[in-house]
Amino acid sequence: MSASSAYEQAQQTLETLDNPQEEVQVFEEFVRAYPDSEEAVDALGAVIYLRGYELDDLNGAVSFAEAARSMASDPKTRFDIGIKLHEVAVEAGKVIDLRMIADELAAKRPLNFVEHLSVVEEAEKSG
């Protein structure tokens, strides 16, 4: 099954759930199954929101984002996940090396304007 079909199926499953913990499980399973897909980045965003804010578990959200980044092998996906990881890590009071996230993608190809802007915005958040 393609990542986009699986993501649609995951979203349909969510319509039957009313428990944030169950919703987190659906998205986490998707990220594990399709770690290099564009949809994995969206699913991770949902995990971060649900786990970090709905379930008040920022540390759990950081841990899963770190695991998701480790699962991904595509440099662009790893970058996008890294940016999301940095966002939630700042909220949790943790330090993530933003330069490493940017440098990893830059070693494969130059960052585009939006990617540079993402790095700058995240750097501003962390002071």
Q: What is the pTM assigned to this prediction? A: 0.91
- Nearest alpha-carbon partner for 119 in 109, 108, 105, 107: 105
- Nearest alpha-carbon partner for 122 in 89, 93, 92, 76: 89
- Residue 20 sits in which domain range? 3-126
Residue 100 has pLDDT above 90, yes or no: yes
Total domain count for the chain?
A: 1
d(CA 108, CA 37): 18
Phi then psi for 51, rounded to 5 degrees? Answer: -70, -45
pLDDT digits (tens, 9 = 90+) for 53-99: 999 999 999 999 999 999 999 999 999 999 999 999 999 999 999 99
Q: What is the CATH number of the domain that holds 36?
A: 1.25.40.10
